[in-house]
C-alpha cells in the first residue's frame, strides 16, 4: 500500500453521501516521508474544483503563516478528515468523518507514519483525539502511542478572528520547534 494507491481509491470512493456533490476528491498532498501531517476538516469550494488541499483563501493564509514559522508545504503532508466537499461547506457529520477516517485517513497515517499530527480545528480534534473543547486543547501536545497530536485553530477560523490568528501563528511556531526536536 502506498499513498498513490490510497489516492486512487479515494477518487472512486462512494462510501458516504458526500461523494454525490463533489467535483473532485481531495486526497491530500505531500511527501510519504513527511514527519508532520496537517489534518483539516473538509475540502471547500476551491479545493473541490482543484482537487488539492487548502488552495482557497484560508489556504493562502495557511501558506503565509507556515512560511513565517519556517515551515514549508513541501515538508508536510496536508489532508483532512473527509476527502469530499460537504454541500454548501457544512460541517461534516460524524458518520461521514468516521467512515472516511476508517477507509482512508487511517491508512494514510499508517503509510506516512508521522511523528506529529497537527489537528486544524475542532472537527479534526474531535475526530482524531476525541477532545471536544478546542479552546482548552489548542497549543497543547497530546501523546498517543508513538505520536504527538497538536490541536490548533482551523485557518478559516483564524482568518476571521484576530486573537485566533495570533494564537494560530504562535502554534505554527511551536509546531516548527516540535518538528525540529523529533
Ligand atoms: S468523504 Fe471520504 S468516505 Fe465519503 S465518499 Fe468521499 S472519500 Fe469516500
| Interior/surface letters 31-69, b for 16+ CB within 10 angstroms, e for the rest | eeebbbbbbbbbbbebbbeebbbbbbebbebbbebbeeb
Q: Does the pLDDT at position 157 exceed 90?
A: no
Centre of ligand 1 to C-alpha 159, Å, is 27
For 122, the grid coordinates are 475542532
- Side by side, the strands of the sheet bearing 142-144 are 76-80, 36-40, 116-120, 147-152, 142-144
pLDDT at 110 (0 to 100): 97
Tally the domains of the chain.
Answer: 1
Supply the pLDDT for residue 182: 67
Q: Domain residues for 23? A: 3-181
What residue has cell string 461523494? 19
pLDDT digits over 93-120, tens only? 999 999 999 999 999 999 999 999 999 9
pLDDT of residue 159 exceeding 90, the answer is: no
Per residue in 24-57, pLDDT tens?
999 999 999 999 999 999 999 999 999 999 998 8
Cell numbers placing 12:
472512486
Provide the CATH number for the domain around residue 89.
3.40.470.10
Pocket of ligand 1 (CB under 6 A): 10, 13-16, 18-19, 25, 82-84, 96, 99-100, 103-104
Q: Hey, whose CA ends up nearest to atom 6 of ligand 1?
A: 84
Grid cell locating 180:
525540529
What pLDDT does 25 receive? 98
75 Cα–ligand 1 center, Å: 25
Packing angle of the helix pair 57-68, 162-181 (nearest 10 deg) = 50
Amino acid at each position: 500500500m502506498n499513498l498513490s494507491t490510497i489516492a486512487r481509491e479515494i477518487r472512486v470512493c462512494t462510501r458516504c453521501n458526500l461523494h454525490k456533490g463533489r467535483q473532485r476528491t481531495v486526497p491530500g498532498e505531500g511527501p510519504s516521508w513527511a514527519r508532520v501531517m496537517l489534518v483539516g476538516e473538509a475540502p471547500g469550494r476551491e479545493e473541490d474544483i482543484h482537487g488539492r488541499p487548502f488552495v482557497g483563501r484560508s489556504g493562502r493564509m495557511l501558506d503565509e503563516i507556515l512560511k513565517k514559522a519556517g515551515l514549508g508545504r513541501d515538508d508536510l503532508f496536508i489532508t483532512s478528515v473527509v476527502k469530499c466537499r460537504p454541500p454548501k461547506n457544512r460541517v461534516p457529520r460524524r458518520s461521514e468523518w468516521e467512515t472516511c477516517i476508517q477507509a482512508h485517513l487511517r491508512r494514510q497515517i499508517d503509510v506516512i507514519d508521522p511523528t506529529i499530527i497537527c489537528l486544524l480545528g475542532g472537527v479534526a480534534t474531535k475526530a482524531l483525539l476525541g477532545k471536544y473543547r478546542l479552546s482548552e486543547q489548542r497549543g497543547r501536545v497530546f501523546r498517543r502511542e508513538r505520536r504527538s497530536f497538536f490541536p490548533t485553530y482551523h485557518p478559516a477560523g483564524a482568518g476571521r478572528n484576530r486573537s485566533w490568528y495570533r494564537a494560530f501563528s504562535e502554534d505554527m511556531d511551536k509546531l516548527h520547534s516540535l518538528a525540529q526536536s523529533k
